Amino acid sequence: MRYRPSDRLQRLPAYLFAEFERKRVAFEKQGRDIVNLGIGDPDQPPPKLLIDAMIATLNVPGVHQYSPSQGIEEFRAAVRAFMKRRYDVGLDPKEVCLGVGSKELIAHMPLALTNPGDVVLVPEPGYPPYRSGAIFASCEPYVMPLRRSAGFLPDLDAVPADIANRARILYVNYPNNPTGATATREFYAKCVDFAARHGTLVVSDEAYAELYYDEAPPSLLQTPGAKEVGVAVHSMTKTYSMAGWRVAWVCGHEQVVETMRAFKANVDSGQFMGFQKAVAEVLREGAGDMQSIREMYRRRRDAFVEGCRGLGWDVPSPRAGLYVWFEVPKRGMTSMAFAEAVLEQANVIMLPGAGFGQAAEGFMRVALTVGEERLREAVARLARLKL
Ligand SMILES: Cc1ncc(COP(=O)(O)O)c(C=O)c1O
């Protein structure tokens, strides 16, 4: 064939979740009622304030033209006010850059900030773009396993010295997808120390920062010295159920933020200014509805976790995030075999840990992105499984 995917693209691991999506569509066409606990796509409408602000901005003259890649000043000022209010982190205007969603920021960072052959430290299980971004940039992804016994925090001391010295980026993600773990301030201090010793950049993916069930989780940027070695990536997607809007930001280390801006000036032309203005309003006004959104996810979490415990399964209750992460309840069964049995017999989609990397084999992920009643329905069907 004359045209084929690039070698880089071919080096990416198979996208297991696409297969479940394909089956879902096929089964629904057959009339089967599928409870989809697969993808983490929030099902709630965004806040009314946002929609109203968006409608109002559509008529503002000038918003339909190109905008700067780093985001308009009004958006960045609102981000700075939010970071100050939420974390007491002061940011200069040059320390904030807009993202067209956080996925693009994360996936582009190695291209903007590393050279071929550099090492990128990726947690496993972990959000796939940490690894794919590293592969696209011809870097070497080095896997840091997240183990339940260690609170799903990576063991930085276990990274061999030669790898650590070549590591240009360290990705950390708390609240964590998929494990639901949160980070301690001590852990972030270790990351900062590691980065300072090895000349690494810490990229803290804080996409789930507002979805917590206990106390509000900290940001990397609250750690003394963090701004000298790190950036935080935030997104509006999960917080305000805005997956389709594609608005996020990276903030922290000034040179890194400036590098991202310079890189992005070559690959995108900002985000629609109307979005940015509406998002700025929500960030400025504060998160009025957040408490009720958190309560809604808490009820869903409890319905699923308690239901599964009633089946005798060992299902830990996540501290934060959108997911429940638990060990395959049948000893010796692979996560893929369990996911297939659950889909075939119970018409429920859960994602197998294997799709999050080898270190995640033996686990399952459930997204709390359907209503409480549907979660109870899923548990009732799981009770009838024959394994
Ligand atoms: C850990 C993590 N980071 C970032 C994202 C990306 O979110 P977005 O690109 O919508 O901002 C996701 C989405 O699932 C995620 O799970």
CB-CB contact of 97 with 72 (8 Å): no
CB-CB contact of 226 with 202 (8 Å): yes
List all residues 6 or more positions away from 150 whose beta carbon is below 8 Å from its beta carbon: none
Domains of the chain: 7-45+290-382 (3.90.1150.10), 48-285 (3.40.640.10)
What is the pLDDT, as a whole number, of residue 1? 62
**Each residue's pLDDT tens digit in the chain (387 positions)?**
688 999 999 998 877 788 888 999 999 999 999 999 998 888 888 888 889 999 999 998 899 999 999 999 999 999 999 999 999 999 999 999 999 999 999 999 999 999 999 999 999 999 999 999 999 999 999 999 999 999 999 999 999 999 999 999 999 999 999 999 999 999 999 999 999 999 999 999 999 999 999 899 999 999 999 999 999 999 999 888 889 999 999 999 999 999 999 999 999 999 999 999 999 999 987 756 688 889 999 999 999 999 999 999 999 999 999 999 999 999 999 999 999 999 999 999 999 999 888 889 999 999 999 999 999 999 999 999 998
Cβ–ligand 1 distance for 281 under 6 Å, the answer no
What is the pLDDT, as a whole number, of residue 287? 56
Cβ–ligand 1 distance for 122 under 6 Å, the answer no
**To which H or E segment does residue 327 belong?**
strand 323-327
Cβ–ligand 1 distance for 114 under 6 Å, the answer no
β-sheet bridge partners, residue 351 = 365
SS3 content of the chain, % helix, strand, coil (to 5): 45, 15, 40
Most ligand 1 atoms within 8 A of CB, residue of 79, 173, 233, 237 to mutate: 237
Between the CA of 102 and the centroid of ligand 1 the distance, in Å, is 6
Cβ–ligand 1 distance for 173 under 6 Å, the answer yes
What is the pLDDT, as a whole number, of residue 288? 62
What is the pLDDT, as a whole number, of residue 142? 98
Is residue 50 left, alpha or beta, with left meaning phi > 0 and alpha meaning psi from -120 to 50? alpha
What is the pLDDT, as a whole number, of residue 184? 95
Phi, psi of 122 (to 5 degrees): -120, 135
Cβ–ligand 1 distance for 321 under 6 Å, the answer no
Most ligand 1 atoms within 8 A of CB, residue of 105, 106, 177, 206 to mutate: 177
Cα dihedral 82, 84, 88, 90 sign: positive
CB-CB contact of 245 with 236 (8 Å): yes
What is the pLDDT, as a whole number, of residue 329? 96
Between the CA of 179 and the centroid of ligand 1 the distance, in Å, is 14
Shortest-distance Cα residue to atom 3 of ligand 1: 207
Cβ–ligand 1 distance for 297 under 6 Å, the answer no
Cβ–ligand 1 distance for 40 under 6 Å, the answer yes
